[in-house]
Chain A
């Protein structure tokens, strides 16, 4: 089954897959902890720690994104 993003770019296909995989990990963390923060807030509990983790994961994702982008744009 061809990946719609990598289709048509056979040379960079493998790198893109890795790029997506690397990004998917912190994005999962961010998504789970944002949801957790929302549940905690709904219960009247402190969501700060969950929000801090979500922010850290988002930073990690941006960092990985920039590094991946630089890697992909290399001549």
Chain B
């Protein structure tokens, strides 16, 4: 979206210069020379941003900005002045201007200020649209939920996303810790930079250091070329360190050093490299217990846990189960195109009654399998009976589904399934 910028400056050369520079930066502009003219064009032009000279021939530029904000508080302002004083700067910032530029103006400075403001407005508009989406559909990015614990999680994500604070996400396996990390990244100023996820438990302890920090050629047997580590790959963006308590104690010390110094050294390297990475860590263990068991260093814990987010198990947000099940059905149907369009209400009740030890990941798998096994356009409770054998069922669902499927039913299902497979291929 092109920002509408109103330039209010009495000097003709500066006015034209600003207008042309801003237009080349992608803004749609209008330029006037007096406070009176600014007032007259304000309603029709409806600017997002005002670039105002403090001293105008017929008034005070700050008053022009204040009036513009009164009619639309979302408007931003950049003040331009040749008479810098601490008082005027403080007054301008109190009035809500975003930046204060001193004359003689430097075009590069104007560009930096404008780009920063433009990036912030883009981010704010994305957050607003996600907030609207959340209110309407119970979705924040790829996270789904309308239950009170999830609403709290969404609020925490929105707050922390705009900062650079390290986040520690805790929650049982399958609750969506990586999805939370991705959503934080997506809502942050780093969204255009890489998101890199690293599972500390998936790599052998001897290799983790070189995977994370990279290595120089010849630094160990088999290091036949230089390798950039995950930290460098995520530079400018976000790095998720999953299962952080599985990282060895020696490496935890090195990680702490990187977080404190914001520099790293590749294995076998001699140079310290500066990195700008937002760290999100995750664990399915209680971190305090991990500290007691010497699995997690206490100093590292405090460094990682600047902003904690605890994900509730699915069993503690049962009101989200139907919403999630429907979301997954739609997602799977989009990939599979098998014509499965709905849930039998008794099937949803059966899902809601199940304890879900594997949390959202297990629910997704069950929905996928139910989708594959469904004949016709509706997922029925009979299908779930096979998938959730020990599930406590609501009476209505249970009475209709208690018997095991007959051989004839099973063979008809197999035939339907192979027919569908042929149709897809």
To the question of whether A and B form a pair in one complex, the answer is yes
Expressed in whole angstroms, the minimum distance between the Cβ of A55 and any Cβ of chain B is: 11
Number of A-B residue pairs, CB cutoff 8 Å, is 64
Q: Is A51 part of the binding interface, using a Cβ–Cβ cutoff of 8 Å?
A: no
In the complex formed, the residue of A with least CB distance to B21 is A32
A50 CA to B20 CA, complexed, in Å: 10
A-facing residues in B1-24 (Cβ within 8 Å): 11, 13-14, 16-18, 20-21, 24
B-facing residues in A2-28 (Cβ within 8 Å): 17, 20-28
- Whether A36 and B20, one on each chain, are in contact in the complex, defined by CB atoms closer than 8 angstroms, is yes
A-facing residues in B104-125 (Cβ within 8 Å): 104-107
Chain B residues positioned under 8 Å from A28 (CB to CB): 11, 13-14, 17, 82, 103-105
Q: Is B206 part of the binding interface, using a Cβ–Cβ cutoff of 8 Å?
A: no
A35 CA to B16 CA, complexed, in Å: 12
- Whether B18 and A32, one on each chain, are in contact in the complex, defined by CB atoms closer than 8 angstroms, is yes
Chain A residues positioned under 8 Å from B107 (CB to CB): 31-32, 35
A28 CA to B53 CA, complexed, in Å: 12
Q: Is B83 part of the binding interface, using a Cβ–Cβ cutoff of 8 Å?
A: yes
Expressed in whole angstroms, the minimum distance between the Cβ of A43 and any Cβ of chain B is: 9
A17 CA to B16 CA, complexed, in Å: 25
A50 CA to B21 CA, complexed, in Å: 12
Q: Is A39 part of the binding interface, using a Cβ–Cβ cutoff of 8 Å?
A: yes
In the complex formed, the residue of A with least CB distance to B107 is A35
Expressed in whole angstroms, the minimum distance between the Cβ of A71 and any Cβ of chain B is: 17
Chain A residues positioned under 8 Å from B14 (CB to CB): 25, 28-29, 32
A1 CA to B20 CA, complexed, in Å: 34
- Whether A39 and B24, one on each chain, are in contact in the complex, defined by CB atoms closer than 8 angstroms, is yes
Expressed in whole angstroms, the minimum distance between the Cβ of B86 and any Cβ of chain A is: 5
Number of interface residues of B (CB under 8 A): 19
A32 CA to B106 CA, complexed, in Å: 7
Number of interface residues of A (CB under 8 A): 23
- Whether B103 and A27, one on each chain, are in contact in the complex, defined by CB atoms closer than 8 angstroms, is yes
Expressed in whole angstroms, the minimum distance between the Cβ of B107 and any Cβ of chain A is: 4
A57 CA to B24 CA, complexed, in Å: 21
Known: A1-B86, A17-B83, A32-B107. A25 touches B11 (CB 8 A): yes
- Whether B82 and A24, one on each chain, are in contact in the complex, defined by CB atoms closer than 8 angstroms, is yes
- Whether A31 and B105, one on each chain, are in contact in the complex, defined by CB atoms closer than 8 angstroms, is yes
A-facing residues in B159-216 (Cβ within 8 Å): none
- Whether A57 and B104, one on each chain, are in contact in the complex, defined by CB atoms closer than 8 angstroms, is no
In the complex formed, the residue of B with least CB distance to A43 is B24
- Whether A29 and B83, one on each chain, are in contact in the complex, defined by CB atoms closer than 8 angstroms, is no
- Whether A31 and B24, one on each chain, are in contact in the complex, defined by CB atoms closer than 8 angstroms, is no
In the complex formed, the residue of A with least CB distance to B110 is A32
Expressed in whole angstroms, the minimum distance between the Cβ of A57 and any Cβ of chain B is: 5
Chain B residues positioned under 8 Å from A25 (CB to CB): 11, 14, 82, 103
In the complex formed, the residue of B with least CB distance to A32 is B17
Known: A31-B107, A35-B107. A26 touches B13 (CB 8 A): yes
In the complex formed, the residue of A with least CB distance to B84 is A3
A35 CA to B22 CA, complexed, in Å: 12
- Whether B13 and A32, one on each chain, are in contact in the complex, defined by CB atoms closer than 8 angstroms, is yes
List 4 additional A-B contacts (Cβ < 8 Å) besides A23-B104, A26-B13, A32-B18: A27-B103, A27-B104, A28-B104, A29-B17
A contacts, CB < 8 Å to B = 1, 17, 20-33, 35-36, 39, 50, 53, 56-57
B contacts, CB < 8 Å to A = 11, 13-14, 16-18, 20-21, 24, 82-83, 85-86, 102-107
Could you give 27 example pairs across A and B, Cβ below 8 Å? A1-B85, A21-B83, A22-B82, A23-B104, A24-B102, A24-B103, A25-B103, A27-B103, A28-B13, A28-B14, A28-B17, A28-B103, A29-B11, A31-B106, A32-B14, A32-B16, A32-B17, A32-B107, A33-B13, A33-B16, A33-B17, A35-B17, A36-B24, A39-B24, A53-B13, A53-B17, A56-B13
